[in-house]
Amino acid sequence: MEKKDAAAYLCFGKDQKPAYLKTEGLKRFLAANGYASNPLTKARKARKLEFIDLKRNEDQGNEWTAAACDFCGQPINGVSYQQLADGRIRCNECAASAIEDLEEFKQLFEQCIQLMQDFYQVTFQVPLEIRMTDSDEIASRAGFRTPTGSGKKIRVLGFAQNQDGKRAVLIENGSPRLASIDTIVHEMTHIWQSVSWNEMEFARLYGMGSKKKTKLASLILHEGMAVWSAIQFLYLIGETSYAARQEALIEERKDEYGLGFLLFRKHFPLVKTTDFLYRTPFRLFPPIPPQEIRSIIHAIFS
């Protein structure tokens, strides 16, 4: 065998590998005895595969984006995560605080409602049904699907339902504690909007001249306030770094969540301590001057 075909270290400083070293035969022997599929080799190949699979979940063409936790948005480093049965990716940190049973969830829910009433000076006097469900049901009821593992924040983890005066909050099973709090406050803000905002008055103030424009204006107001409310809540309970991360993620978004949040943050600056809130959109109607929504809608449609 020529030197160029053999690993240099097998030549022992000479030009050629010694004839008595039968490397090809050895390789065949090892392969036949399973040495090509030992646990280490499998682990290496598996890690590679995981990354390919995660990449496939990405809906943005060929651009490679690091896989991220479906709950907190943190990048996943390749080993420290779990993949749930429905494909969702959950980092170890989120897994450690995941809320898996309904009783635990109901307790957290009650605490959030209490604090919301205190922080925002509101009362919730609506009968509510609380349900836990999987990500597919949430996605189909919310009307769209965000690919899992894609790190596209804020993925919908819950859904507020309002059917013939019956209100229900659905939340995704397996959600970590902070993501659950975020979702509960977001959805309860929608519930509050549905009982507190006078629909006729709302339509009169925020009518944009066409159905499409009015619908977008309404989404910006509803979602913007819900996002503001959840992030403000997280700051008020002292979860500053989580709140700041959510704030940074939402700022980047150019949809009704991002645009709406910026608008609400401008009018109701976030209080990042545990101080009392004097100015909140829960206490003001209309919460945002109609003229400002009008100029945003105008810019989008022009």
List interacting residues with Zn ion (CB under 5 A): 69, 71-72, 91, 94, 223, 226
Q: From the CB of 186, what's the least distance to Zn ion, in Å?
A: 6
State how far the Cα of 252 lies from the Cα of 84, in Å rounded to an integer: 28
Q: How many CB atoms lie within 10 A of CB 22?
A: 12
Q: From the CB of 200, what's the least distance to Zn ion, in Å?
A: 22
> Between 17 and 184, whose beta carbon lies closer to Zn ion?
184
State how far the Cα of 53 lies from the Cα of 31, in Å rounded to an integer: 27
Q: From the CB of 222, what's the least distance to Zn ion, in Å?
A: 7
Tokens standing for residue 146: 């965000």
> Between 89 and 208, whose beta carbon lies closer to Zn ion?
89
Q: From the CB of 184, what's the least distance to Zn ion, in Å?
A: 12
Tokens standing for residue 90: 């959950």
> Between 226 and 243, whose beta carbon lies closer to Zn ion?
226
Q: From the CB of 225, what's the least distance to Zn ion, in Å?
A: 9
State how far the Cα of 113 lies from the Cα of 292, in Å rounded to an integer: 31
Say if CB 247 and CB 276 are below 8 A apart.
no
Residues 6+ away with beta carbon under 8 Å from 277:
119, 120, 232, 236, 271
Say if CB 28 and CB 34 are below 8 A apart.
no
Tokens standing for residue 51: 């990354």
Say if CB 122 and CB 159 are below 8 A apart.
no
3-state secondary structure of 201: helix
> Between 11 and 253, whose beta carbon lies closer to Zn ion?
253
Say if CB 160 and CB 167 are below 8 A apart.
yes
Q: From the CB of 181, what's the least distance to Zn ion, in Å?
A: 14
> Between 72 and 259, whose beta carbon lies closer to Zn ion?
72
> Between 159 and 235, whose beta carbon lies closer to Zn ion?
159
Distance of CA 36 to the CA centre of its chain: 39
Q: From the CB of 282, what's the least distance to Zn ion, in Å?
A: 16
> Between 58 and 223, whose beta carbon lies closer to Zn ion?
223
Helix (H) and strand (E) counts in the chain: 11, 5
